Amino acid sequence: MSIYQKFLTDEEATVAFGRELARATYVDTSEISVEILVGAGTETIGGLIHLNGDLGVGKTTLTRGIMRGYGYSGPVKSPTYTLVEPYELEKCQIYHFDLYRLANPEEVEYLGVEDYFQSTNLCIVEWANLGKGSIPGADIVIELETEGTGRRLSFESQTQKGHRIAERLWR
């Protein structure tokens, strides 16, 4: 398990970190130029990211940054009412979950989302603790906390895939 921390000064810094996190989830990019990497044609190694933090702390903003890192330019809204927002890009599938409205973890099973958690998909789950026991364990857990006018981000890798992403991101 590896733990890293970063202070995010504002919304722009949160989106920028999300872009960098997205790049750390690309397939092996050693032979690809940076210009080619920016866009919806980029493949992902997949992964499961749990995002934790209070309401309004920036979980969806961070997700927007990840989506921008994959070249998605459309709106990224919190799926609080839809519970999951699928993004089917050219070469990868990204699923953004928000479990805030769940009354108990078993409700996840009624969503029929088990197929979304394939290893080749990138899944981002806000309020993952509310689905504990009904969703797979995370490759990465990110905790966001308000600190002054900014945010304190804690990043914890929990699997081999999570360690690989962390090594790419924090080197």
Question: Is the Cβ–Cβ distance between 98 and 124 less than 8 Å?
Answer: no
Q: Does residue 41 or residue 124 have the better pLDDT?
A: 124
Least confident range of 30-34, 39-43, 121-125, 160-164: 30-34
Going along the chain from its start, the domains and CATH numbers come out as: 2-165 (3.40.50.300)
Question: Is the Cβ–Cβ distance between 85 and 105 less than 8 Å?
Answer: no
> Residue 106: what pLDDT?
81
List, for residues 82-116, the tens digit of each pLDDT value: 899 999 988 889 999 999 998 888 888 888 788 89
- Rounded mean pLDDT, 152-156: 98
Total residues belonging to the chain:
171
Tell me which residue of 23, 36, 123, 29 sits closest to 68, measured CA to CA. Answer: 23
Tell me which residue of 134, 119, 138 sits closest to 50, measured CA to CA. Answer: 138
List, for residues 126-143, the tens digit of each pLDDT value: 999 999 888 999 999 999
Question: pTM for this structure?
Answer: 0.90
Amino acid at 132: K
Mean pLDDT of the chain: 89
Give 41's pLDDT tier (boundaries 50, 70, 90). low
CB count, 10 Å around CB of 46?
A: 19
> Residue 140: what pLDDT?
98
> Residue 103: what pLDDT?
85
- Coil vs helix vs strand at 83: coil
